[in-house]
């Protein structure tokens, strides 16, 4: 089964800056997904990232704020741009390999001062 | 919002008791999954039940699915203090061409098992 490495595991950032989160998978996967989990909340899907095409964003999320790259079948990045305290969350990547199981990275805990 | 809802939001029980959590969703699904999350850490996949299944067991876990009511339940039997965590249901909802592969998460249940 796929192993996902996500980094950084946590960061503290200044308001107005940007941070890029990386997700590396040890095998090729077609689909990768990015989620946000705000404090005390459930997970919300940000976007779906397929290699060779632009990411597909869910309602409420836009490319200018959360640009995503998917240069190959084992890697993806999510950038959180022009950060504000409301962006303080855990960000998680997920892959789908076949029908089951689902794999999540351990998450990036982001705090904005 | 496509997000499912879970109840109760929080549940506190004694070790050895059973814990039941319920999940309701809004759209047709391909499958429904349950996850555990310990104190804001990564997600652990517990069990998957397909839309044509009604009940599934895995160790101390029992999951039921009622697609007519768009609801599922997770039963943890003989609970332990180590079961203390947040539990989320997630639906892989069916699009026009089949599974969308998106997982949409419910609001979660915070379970506290007292030793």
**Burial class of residue B39, CB neighbours in 10 A (0-12, 13-18, 19+):** exposed
At residue A104 the predicted structure's pLDDT band, cuts being 50, 70 and 90, is confident
3-state secondary structure of A87: helix
Nearest to B103 among A90, A102, A106 (CB): A102
Cβ separation of A102 and B104 shorter than 8 Å? no
Any chain A CB within 8 A of the CB of B28?
no
The minimal CB distance from B3 to the residues A35, A42, A100 is found for: A42
pLDDT band at A98 (very low <50, low <70, confident <90, very high): low
Residues of chain B with pLDDT under 50: none
Residue pLDDT, tens place only, A75-94: 999 999 999 999 999 999 99
* Residues B68-82: tens digit of each pLDDT: 999 999 999 999 999
Position A18 scores a pLDDT of 97
**What is the spatial distance between Cα A27 and Cα A12, in angstroms, rounded to a whole number?**
30
Measure B43 CA to nearest chain A CA, in Å.
Answer: 7
Separation of CA B20 from chain center = 10
C-alpha–C-alpha distance, residues B111 and B80, integer Å: 11
Q: How far is B54 from chain A (nearest CA, A)?
A: 18
Label residue A86 left, alpha or beta by phi (over 0 means left) and psi (-120 to 50 means alpha).
Answer: alpha
Per the CB < 8 Å rule, is B101 touching A96?
A: yes
**DSSP designation for A58:** P
pLDDT band (50, 70, 90) for residue A44: very high
Chain B positions in Cβ-Cβ contact with residue A102 (cut-off 8 Å): 33, 45, 103
Is B98's Cβ below 8 Å from some Cβ in A?
A: no
Beta bridge partners of A11: A110
Count chain A–chain B contacts defined by CB atoms under 8 A. 44
């Amino acid at each position: 089964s796929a192993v996902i490495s996500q980094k950084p595991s946590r960061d503290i950032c200044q308001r107005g800056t940007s941070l890029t989160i990386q997700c590396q998978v040890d095998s090729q996967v077609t689909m990768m997904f990015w989620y946000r989990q705000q404090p005390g909340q459930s997970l919300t899907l940000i976007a779906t990232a397929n290699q060779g095409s632009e990411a597909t964003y869910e309602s409420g999320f836009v490319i200018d704020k959360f640009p995503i790259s998917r240069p190959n079948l084992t890697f993806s990045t999510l950038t959180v741009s022009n950060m504000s305290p409301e962006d303080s969350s855990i960000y998680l990547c997920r892959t789908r390999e076949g029908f089951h199981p689902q794999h999540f990275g351990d998450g990036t805990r982001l705090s904005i001062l | 919002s496509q997000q499912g809802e879970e109840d109760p939001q929080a549940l506190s029980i004694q070790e050895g008791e059973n814990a039941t959590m319920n999940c309701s969703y809004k759209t047709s699904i391909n499958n429904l999954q349950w996850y555990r999350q310990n104190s804001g850490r990564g997600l652990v996949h517990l069990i998957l039940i397909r839309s044509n299944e009604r009940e599934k067991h895995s160790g101390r876990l029992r999951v039921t699915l009622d697609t007519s009511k768009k609801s599922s339940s997770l039963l943890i039997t003989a609970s332990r203090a180590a079961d203390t965590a947040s539990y989320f249901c997630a639906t892989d909802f069916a699009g026009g061409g089949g599974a969308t592969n998106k997982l949409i998460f419910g609001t979660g249940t915070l379970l506290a098992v007292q030793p």
